[in-house]
């Protein structure tokens, strides 16, 4: 497959030899029925009752799926529920008050444990505090917090009073925060004084202040005092201290608001290819059903488990699989504030050993780092409590897959390679660990009730083994309902390309390229639209390029991913051409500074090559594939399609000369 821009790949990564799930796992798995795919198919869409049954409904729904207004699907219509009551109250009511809900591991070795009763009390107090501030049903509350317990508590307090939350990853810049608050017209912000970054105190409040200065609306702000004496701060007008606010409402309870299944639970911004972040809207009934069901069927979570997902709650993985899914099931979810290598590279294994973690879910980029650091670190600990391992966020190739299974999973644990997106809300493609054979490098078949196809540019399914575009051909409960800034953009971004409204044939376009094998297993290769994955996070090359080109003196920029020398990590590599009268030394520092402030640290290019021109196709498109090959020191294919082939030698000379 080729997208006409020379960027297509024709050969998917090879998958490793298939492995059956170990019998000991299959015996106890939450799903052990090999016929479940067929069962769901025969009974679709009513099969999704199975997911909704995992929740407590205030009013039962009358219709599983309403597809009248496709692609604006509605799930479980007529039903009413409250997400916070599902994640906390019902466990307390069912006699599980003292069961641990959250086990928090702080960056400096601090520890805290919240039982379901503790969580219930804190959520109610914060809900009462938010009400005092004026938060009403349907007001968007922005949360800009690092991985501290106040983050999930605030999310659930919002859910309790029916106020959608919009969590902005704490490492994003003031500009990124302001853009998101502006787009959502959000008038409430929950943030903190700062947090520790590898032991140093880092000021978060000043970023929040800068964002507020850029906003037209008045913003009421609540500040968590995370650092105490390490970073004293003074509260200004319309600012409250989080724990003082909580204390003034000590012991109060707030009735959970009965939300319509289709009412918004939260907004989550994700990078778009056009540079404008997209506000993905998730609703209450469908989303919560889908995350609860997949937490059980794919991650095999049981209430007695200690489960750990190593993502940040600031991204969708943390929303779905640290907070909503595991808490809906009443399990113990581990929340880790730090990084895997601080104070040493054995940090994660020590936490797994000490807490007897049963299920561990992380990103392939982390697995590649563990592999690089060496087996001695996990080797120092007893990891035999682990029953299942998972990955999410990027493709995982057979080598790290096997390393993960061997050195973390003791050669025993099944691995689930889960494919999904911010927009899908929950996992769509994965093996069912107690049922399906695993193929290292391939995610698996679409889950029961999910239908996916790999198609060519005309929408025709490709032959087994060929590469194409990954589409989802039936709706699913956790799907995004729209984009906050408009239905039109929602249709344009995800539906238009492979749908035919005249025949009411709607297919969701994931934006990923993939390959389907003869058993229906899907290997996802990556984004169609040049997105670079750094440390497990998808960064839009377009967004980075626009941050570079907004610096004075820059004419044009292209960024690509470059594998590090060990092949384990991806760095951002930028090609920049300056305007006349400027040269690299003038602008290098401004590029770095601007990318950091507009997008964040993770997006800063590791290397910048200055070139008089960028290689272009005849139609004027920048040829990123070629730039990627140059960055990676690979041999260059045919360059005859270029409008300016002579530039290639110049760029290589410039790269080698540095
Ligand atoms: C990629 C994260 C290969 C993919 C949940 C997708 C994957 C994007 C996998 C979504 C996987 C996610 N194998 N690629 N198992 N899981 N991706 O929105 O390109 O941050 O479109 O959601 O990550 O990233 P997002």
In the structure, what pLDDT confidence band is assigned to residue 362 with cuts at 50, 70 and 90?
A: very high
In the structure, what pLDDT confidence band is assigned to residue 568 with cuts at 50, 70 and 90?
A: low
Ligand 1 centre to CA of 72 (Å) is: 23
Residue of higher predicted confidence among 471 and 626: 471
The arithmetic mean of pLDDT across residues 141-163, rounded, is 98
What does the radius of gyration of the chain's CA atoms come to, in whole angstroms?
24
Give nearest CA residue, ligand 1 atom 7. 394
- The residue whose CB lies within 8 Å of the most ligand 1 atoms, and thus the one to mutate among 538, 539, 570, 602, is 538
Ligand 1 centre to CA of 420 (Å) is: 5
Residue 29's closest CA among 604, 490, 433?
433
Does the pLDDT value for residue 12 go beyond 60? no
Does the pLDDT value for residue 53 go beyond 80? yes
pLDDT at 617: 66
pLDDT at 658: 57
Ligand 1 centre to CA of 523 (Å) is: 12
Give per-residue pLDDT as tens, 274-286: 457 899 999 999 9
Does the pLDDT value for residue 356 go beyond 90? yes
pLDDT at 360: 98
Residue of higher predicted confidence among 60 and 372: 60
Half-sphere exposure of 487 (CA within 13 A, CB side): 5
Ligand 1 centre to CA of 526 (Å) is: 8
Q: Hey, which of 23-32, 118-127, 164-173 has the most confident mean pLDDT?
A: 118-127
Residue 225: both structure tokens together: 């005092």
Question: For residue 317, which atom of ligand 1 is closest to its CA?
Answer: 5
**Distance between CA atoms of residues 342 and 336, nearest Å:** 12
> What proportion of the chain, given as a percentage, has pLDDT over 90?
68
**CA 353 → CA 336, 358, 384, 501, distances in Å?**
14, 10, 8, 54
Give nearest CA residue, ligand 1 atom 22. 421
Question: For residue 525, which atom of ligand 1 is closest to its CA?
Answer: 3
Give Cβ neighbours of residue 541 (< 8 Å, ≥ 6 apart).
Answer: 530, 531, 532, 558, 559, 560, 624
Helix intervals (H) in 569-645: 584-598, 624-631
Give nearest CA residue, ligand 1 atom 23. 393
Question: For residue 510, which atom of ligand 1 is closest to its CA?
Answer: 21
Does the pLDDT value for residue 222 go beyond 80? yes
Ligand 1 centre to CA of 106 (Å) is: 27
The arithmetic mean of pLDDT across residues 19-29, rounded, is 90
Least trusted range by pLDDT, from 231-235, 336-340, 531-535: 531-535
Give nearest CA residue, ligand 1 atom 19. 526
Ligand 1 centre to CA of 275 (Å) is: 19
- The residue whose CB lies within 8 Å of the most ligand 1 atoms, and thus the one to mutate among 313, 392, 452, 510, is 392
DSSP 72: S
Ligand 1 centre to CA of 272 (Å) is: 14
Give nearest CA residue, ligand 1 atom 12. 393
Pocket of ligand 1 (CB under 6 A): 270, 315-317, 392-395, 417-422, 443, 510-512, 524, 526-527, 538
Whether 522 and 551 have beta carbons less than 8 Å apart is answered as: no
What is the residue whose two structure tokens read 């798995």? 29
Helix (H/G/I), strand (E/B), else coil: 574: strand
Does the pLDDT value for residue 7 go beyond 50? no
Question: For residue 396, which atom of ligand 1 is closest to its CA?
Answer: 13
Does the pLDDT value for residue 530 go beyond 70? no
Residue 523: both structure tokens together: 């290997």
**CA 311 → CA 317, 361, 392, 582, distances in Å?**
6, 8, 9, 41
DSSP 15: P
- First-to-last C-alpha distance (Å) of the chain: 35
Q: C-alpha dihedral over 197, 379, 322, 399, to 10 degrees?
A: 100
Ligand 1 centre to CA of 612 (Å) is: 35
Residue 192's closest CA among 211, 174, 175, 206?
206
DSSP secondary structure string for all residues of 262-279: TSEEEEEEE--TTSSPEE
Angle (CA) 382-197-227 rounded to 5° is: 105
Question: For residue 430, which atom of ligand 1 is closest to its CA?
Answer: 15
Ligand 1 centre to CA of 268 (Å) is: 15
Question: For residue 511, which atom of ligand 1 is closest to its CA?
Answer: 21
Does the pLDDT value for residue 619 go beyond 80? no
- The residue whose CB lies within 8 Å of the most ligand 1 atoms, and thus the one to mutate among 364, 393, 430, is 393
Contacts 24+ apart (CB under 8 A), 561-569: 561/532, 561/533, 561/534, 561/628, 561/631, 562/606, 562/607, 562/628, 562/631, 562/632, 563/632, 566/372, 568/368, 568/369, 568/371, 568/372, 569/365, 569/368, 569/369, 569/535
Question: For residue 527, which atom of ligand 1 is closest to its CA?
Answer: 19
* 190 phi and psi angles, rounded to 5 deg: -115, 120
Give nearest CA residue, ligand 1 atom 24. 421
DSSP secondary structure string for all residues of 440-502: TT--BSBPTT--EEEE-TTSPBPPTT-EEEEEE-S--TTS--EETT-HHHHHHHHTGGG-BGG
Ligand 1 centre to CA of 508 (Å) is: 15
Ligand 1 centre to CA of 557 (Å) is: 26
Whether 391 and 362 have beta carbons less than 8 Å apart is answered as: yes
Does the pLDDT value for residue 173 go beyond 90? no
Ligand 1 centre to CA of 505 (Å) is: 25
Ligand 1 centre to CA of 394 (Å) is: 5
Domain 530-656: give its CATH architecture. Answer: 2-Layer Sandwich (3.30)
Residue 463: both structure tokens together: 């032959």
Give nearest CA residue, ligand 1 atom 25. 421
Does the pLDDT value for residue 6 go beyond 70? no
Residue 512's closest CA among 465, 455, 438?
455
pLDDT at 277: 81
Ligand 1 centre to CA of 438 (Å) is: 19
**Distance between CA atoms of residues 431 and 418, nearest Å:** 8
For residue 372, the surrounding DSSP H or E stretch is helix 364-373
Domain regions of the chain by residue span: 530-656
The arithmetic mean of pLDDT across residues 347-366, rounded, is 95
The arithmetic mean of pLDDT across residues 158-170, rounded, is 97
**Distance between CA atoms of residues 54 and 510, nearest Å:** 27
pLDDT at 621: 60
Give Cβ neighbours of residue 243 (< 8 Å, ≥ 6 apart).
Answer: 224, 225
Does the pLDDT value for residue 641 go beyond 70? no
In the structure, what pLDDT confidence band is assigned to residue 68 with cuts at 50, 70 and 90?
A: very high
Whether 429 and 443 have beta carbons less than 8 Å apart is answered as: yes
Provide the 10 A C-beta neighbour count for residue 655. Answer: 16
- The residue whose CB lies within 8 Å of the most ligand 1 atoms, and thus the one to mutate among 524, 531, 541, 543, is 524
Ligand 1 centre to CA of 392 (Å) is: 6
Provide the 10 A C-beta neighbour count for residue 302. Answer: 15
Mean pLDDT (the chain, rounded): 90
Question: For residue 320, which atom of ligand 1 is closest to its CA?
Answer: 5
Q: Hey, which of 60-64, 484-488, 567-571 has the most confident mean pLDDT?
A: 60-64
Give per-residue pLDDT as tens, 208-218: 999 999 999 99
Give per-residue pLDDT as tens, 253-269: 999 999 999 999 999 99
**Distance between CA atoms of residues 471 and 349, nearest Å:** 37
Does the pLDDT value for residue 46 go beyond 50? yes
In the structure, what pLDDT confidence band is assigned to residue 645 with cuts at 50, 70 and 90?
A: confident
Residue 441's closest CA among 11, 151, 32, 10?
11
Question: For residue 524, which atom of ligand 1 is closest to its CA?
Answer: 3
Whether 656 and 648 have beta carbons less than 8 Å apart is answered as: no
Helix intervals (H) in 49-144: 49-52, 83-84, 90-93, 116-133
Ligand 1 centre to CA of 419 (Å) is: 6
* 244 phi and psi angles, rounded to 5 deg: -70, -45
Helix (H/G/I), strand (E/B), else coil: 14: coil
Residue 237: both structure tokens together: 């007008």
pLDDT at 270: 85
């Amino acid at each position: 497959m080729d997208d006409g821009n020379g960027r297509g790949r024709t050969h998917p990564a090879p998958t490793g030899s298939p492995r059956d799930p170990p019998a000991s796992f299959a015996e106890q798995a939450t799903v052990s029925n090999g016929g479940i795919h067929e069962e769901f198919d025969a009974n679709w869409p009513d099969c999704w009752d199975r997911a909704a049954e995992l929740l407590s409904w205030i009013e039962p729904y009358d219709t599983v799926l309403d597809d009248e207004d496709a692609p604006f699907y509605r799930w479980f219509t007529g039903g009413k529920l409250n997400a916070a009551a599902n994640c906390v109250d019902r466990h307390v009511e069912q006699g599980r008050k003292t069961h641990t809900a959250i086990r928090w591991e702080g960056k400096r070795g601090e520890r805290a444990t919240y039982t379901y009763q503790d969580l219930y009390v804190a959520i109610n107090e914060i809900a009462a505090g938010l009400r005092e501030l004026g938060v009403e049903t349907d007001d968007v509350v922005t949360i800009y917090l690092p991985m501290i317990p106040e983050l999930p508590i605030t999310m659930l307090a919002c859910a309790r009073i029916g106020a959608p939350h919009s969590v902005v990853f704490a490492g994003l810049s003031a500009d990124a925060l302001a853009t998101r608050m502006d787009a959502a017209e959000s008038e409430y912000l929950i943030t903190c004084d700062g947090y520790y970054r590898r032991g140093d105190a880092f000021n978060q409040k000043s970023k929040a202040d800068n964002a507020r200065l850029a906003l037209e609306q008045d913003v009421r702000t609540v500040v968590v005092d995370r650092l105490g004496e390490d970073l004293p701060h003074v509260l200004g007008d319309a600012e409250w201290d989080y724990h003082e606010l909580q204390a003034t409402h000590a012991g109060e309870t707030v009735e959970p608001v009965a939300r319509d299944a289709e009412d918004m639970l939260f907004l989550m911004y994700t990078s778009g290819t056009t540079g404008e972040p997209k506000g993905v809207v998730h609703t209450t009934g469908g989303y919560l059903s889908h995350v609860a069901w997949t937490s059980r069927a794919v991650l095999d979570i049981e209430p007695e488990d200690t489960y750990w997902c190593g993502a940040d709650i600031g991204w969708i993985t943390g929303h779905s699989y640290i907070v909503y899914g595991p808490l809906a099931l009443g399990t113990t979810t581990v929340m880790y504030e730090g990084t895997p290598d601080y104070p040493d590279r054995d940090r994660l294994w020590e936490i797994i050993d000490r807490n007897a973690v049963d299920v561990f879910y992380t990103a392939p980029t982390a697995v590649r780092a563990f592999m690089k650091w060496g087996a001695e670190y996990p080797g120092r600990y007893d990891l035999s409590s682990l029953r299942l391992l998972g990955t999410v966020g990027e493709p995982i190739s057979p080598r790290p897959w096997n390393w993960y299974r061997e050195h973390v999973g003791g050669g025993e644990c099944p691995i689930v390679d889960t494919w999904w997106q911010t927009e899908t809300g929950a996992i769509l493609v994965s093996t069912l660990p107690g049922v399906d054979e695993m193929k290292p490098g391939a995610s698996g078949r679409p889950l029961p009730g999910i239908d996916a196809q790999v198609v060519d540019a005309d929408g025709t399914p490709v032959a087994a083994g060929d590469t194409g575009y990954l589409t989802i051909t039936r709706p699913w409960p956790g799907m995004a309902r729209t984009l906050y800034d408009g239905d039109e953009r929602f249709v344009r971004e995800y539906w238009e390309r492979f749908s035919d409204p005249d025949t009411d044939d709607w297919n969701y376009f994931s934006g990923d390229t993939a390959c389907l094998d003869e058993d229906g297993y899907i290997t996802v290769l990556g984004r169609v639209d040049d997105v670079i994955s750094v440390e497990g996070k998808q960064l839009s090359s377009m967004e980075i390029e626009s941050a570079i080109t907004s610096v004075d003196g820059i004419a044009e920029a292209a960024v690509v991913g470059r594998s590090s020398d060990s092949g384990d990590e991806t760095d951002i590599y930028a090609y920049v051409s300056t305007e006349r009268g400027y040269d690299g030394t003038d602008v290098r520092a401004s590029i770095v500074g601007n990318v950091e402030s507009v997008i964040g640290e993770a997006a800063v290019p590791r290397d910048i090559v200055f070139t008089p021109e960028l290689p272009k196709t005849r139609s004027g498109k920048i040829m990123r594939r070629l730039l990627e090959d140059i960055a990676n020191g690979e041999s260059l294919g045919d360059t005859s399609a270029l409008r300016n082939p002579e530039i290639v030698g110049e760029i290589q000379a410039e790269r080698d000369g540095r």
